[in-house]
């Protein structure tokens, strides 16, 4: 297996807590240099690897180390600009999510990716988390039938102010958090995304987003997320044409409900349910998807194959994000049935918006 020489850009919290420990466990990966605009931050790599060159400039990192690939965990504007620079130089590039701020910017990244022919990747670790992979195997198995509906609940308590110099808390939340959930809705929905309806409620500095997605396969997905919740939780349910329902609780337990379930001890009976859990000794990075996403990215480089969380794969997700933001800012199609009098009484309340896109 060929050794891939990588440059790290952005040695902040996400790199140090998740990506770097994963990279250090990975076979045939050599970290050849580290760049962070804060030089002291870049030097923190020496806690993990003693003789790696560090720099505060990406230009210098490229000249000094000539890496095969860059792995970035920076703010999105740096992901966008450095990814464009890397692609122009023919260097493979993996960026943490979000890769950029808008659909237009993502389209520019996709175009540059097609022109350069390098392998690109975005850190959509939920998609590679062990329970999500298990859920995909279960729902693709013949006895499950066709997926008819996906329900996703992503409860968060932040951000309650705009991030990264943006002026919208809604866009910041969608890019920082809901991007994972929207991407999962699209992954499990299957086929083309053909319709979106969305509504945003606000109270003080928090918000709740409801979105309904429709796919060409006939599958629907509904998404409830926002920052109004007490803490982070994530769960999802998938209902099939054979009346099976699988439920994922907090990216951990999967419960499968079937109309009838047979065990050797009881024979066929109603109201039994099966449960799947990750193994207690599974590494945290494998369970949370960091190992899987990076491993598959590097495999795609070795085999010259498309990585399935590349820039292009995020186009439908960014279409949903744009649509939710546009519907919210245009205040089109206000829902008359939306009635939360206490919310309307505050000056920060937004009456909620619904829109359709086909």
Ligand X SMILES: NC(=O)c1ccc[n+]([C@@H]2O[C@H](COP(=O)([O-])OP(=O)(O)OC[C@H]3O[C@@H](n4cnc5c(N)ncnc54)[C@H](O)[C@@H]3O)[C@@H](O)[C@H]2O)c1
List interacting residues with ligand X (CB under 6 A).
9-15, 35-38, 41, 58, 73-76, 78, 96-97, 123, 125, 176
Q: How far is the CB of 204 from ligand X (least distance, A)?
A: 24
Q: Which of 37/245 has CB closer to ligand X?
A: 37
Cβ 42 to ligand X shortest distance, Å:
8
Question: Which ranges of the chain does DSSP label H, i.e. alpha helix?
Answer: 13-14, 20-25, 39-43, 58-65, 76-88, 103-116, 125-128, 130-140, 169-173, 179-189, 284-287, 290-303, 315-330, 341-344
Closest CA to 185 of 231, 127, 229: 127
Is residue 96 within 8 A of residue 14, CB to CB? The reply is yes
Residue 61 or 325: which CB sits closer to ligand X?
A: 61
Of 101 and 215, the one with the shorter C-beta distance to ligand X is 101
Least separation, in Å, of the C-beta of 166 and ligand X?
A: 12
212 versus 296: smaller Cβ distance to ligand X? 296
Min dist. Cβ of residue 119 to ligand X (A): 19
For the CB of residue 14, give the shortest distance to ligand X in the complex, in Å. Answer: 3
Tell me the angle at which helices 315-330 and 179-189 cross, rounded to the nearest 10 degrees.
120
CA 272 – CA 16 distance, rounded (Å): 43
Sequential DSSP letters for 51-89: T--EES-HHHHHHHH--SEEEE-S-HHHHHHHHHHHHHT
Q: Tell me if 284 sits within 8 A of 19, measured CB to CB.
A: no
**Torsional sign, CA 302, 306, 310, 311:** positive
Task: Give the Cα separation of 96 and 106 in Å (integer).
Answer: 14
Query: To the nearest whole angstrom, how small is the minimum distance from the Cβ of residue 137 to ligand X?
Result: 22
Which of residues 75 and 351 has its CB atom nearest to ligand X in the complex? Answer: 75
Cβ 95 to ligand X, closest distance in Å? 8
Query: What is the phi/psi pair of residue 240, to 5°?
Result: -115, 170
For residue 165, the cross-strand partners are none
Least distance from ligand X to the Cβ atom of residue 9, Å: 5
Backbone angles phi, psi at 276, to 5 degrees: -120, 140
Q: Which is nearer to ligand X, 40 or 335 (CB)?
A: 40
**Cβ 155 to ligand X, closest distance in Å?**
15
Decide whether 16 or 242 has the Cβ nearer to ligand X.
16
When CB distances to ligand X are compared, the closest residue is: 12
The torsion of the CA quartet 263, 266, 271, 273, rounded to 10 degrees, works out to -30
Residue among 132 and 343 whose Cβ is closer to ligand X: 132
Residue placing its CB nearer to ligand X in the complex, 125 or 169: 125
From first CA to last CA, the distance across the chain in angstroms is 46
Is-contact 65 8, C-beta < 8 A? Answer: no
């Amino acid at each position: 297996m060929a050794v891939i020489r990588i440059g790290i850009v952005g040695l902040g919290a996400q790199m140090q807590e998740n990506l770097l420990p994963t990279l250090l466990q990975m076979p045939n990966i050599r970290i050849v240099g580290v760049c962070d605009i804060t030089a002291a931050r870049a030097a923190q790599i020496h806690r993990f690897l003693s003789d790696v060159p560090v720099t505060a400039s990406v230009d210098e990192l490229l000249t000094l180390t000539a890496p095969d690939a860059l792995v970035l965990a920076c703010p999105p504007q740096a992901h966008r600009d450095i990814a464009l620079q890397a692609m122009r130089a023919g260097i493979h590039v993996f960026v943490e999510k979000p890769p950029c701020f808008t659909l237009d910017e993502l389209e520019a990244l996709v175009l540059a990716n097609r022109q350069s022919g390098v392998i690109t990747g975005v850190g959509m670790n939920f998609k590679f988390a062990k329970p999500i992979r298990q859920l995909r195997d279960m729902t693709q198995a013949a006895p499950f039938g066709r997926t008819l509906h996906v329900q996703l609940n992503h409860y968060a308590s932040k951000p309650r102010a705009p991030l990264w110099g943006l002026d919208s808390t809604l866009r910041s939340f969608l890019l920082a958090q809901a991007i994972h959930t929207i991407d999962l809705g699209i992954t499990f929905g299957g086929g083309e995304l053909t319709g979106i309806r969305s509504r945003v409620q606000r109270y003080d500095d928090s918000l709740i987003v409801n979105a309904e997605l429709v796919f060409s396969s006939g599958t629907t997905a509904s998404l409830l997320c926002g920052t109004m919740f007490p803490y982070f939780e994530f769960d999802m349910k998938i209902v099939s044409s054979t009346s099976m329902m699988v439920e994922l609780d907090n990216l951990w337990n999967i419960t499968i409900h079937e109309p009838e379930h047979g065990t050797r001890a009881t024979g066929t009976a109603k109201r039994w349910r099966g449960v799947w859990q990750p193994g207690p000794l599974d590494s945290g990075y494998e369970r949370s998807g960091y190992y899987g996403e990076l491993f598959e990215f590097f495999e795609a480089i070795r085999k010259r194959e498309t990585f399935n969380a590349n820039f292009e794969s995020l186009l439908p997700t960014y279409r949903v994000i744009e649509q939710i933001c546009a519907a919210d800012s245009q205040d089109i199609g206000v829902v008359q049935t939306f009635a939360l009098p206490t919310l309307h009484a505050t000056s920060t309340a937004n009456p909620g918006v619904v829109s359709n896109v086909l």
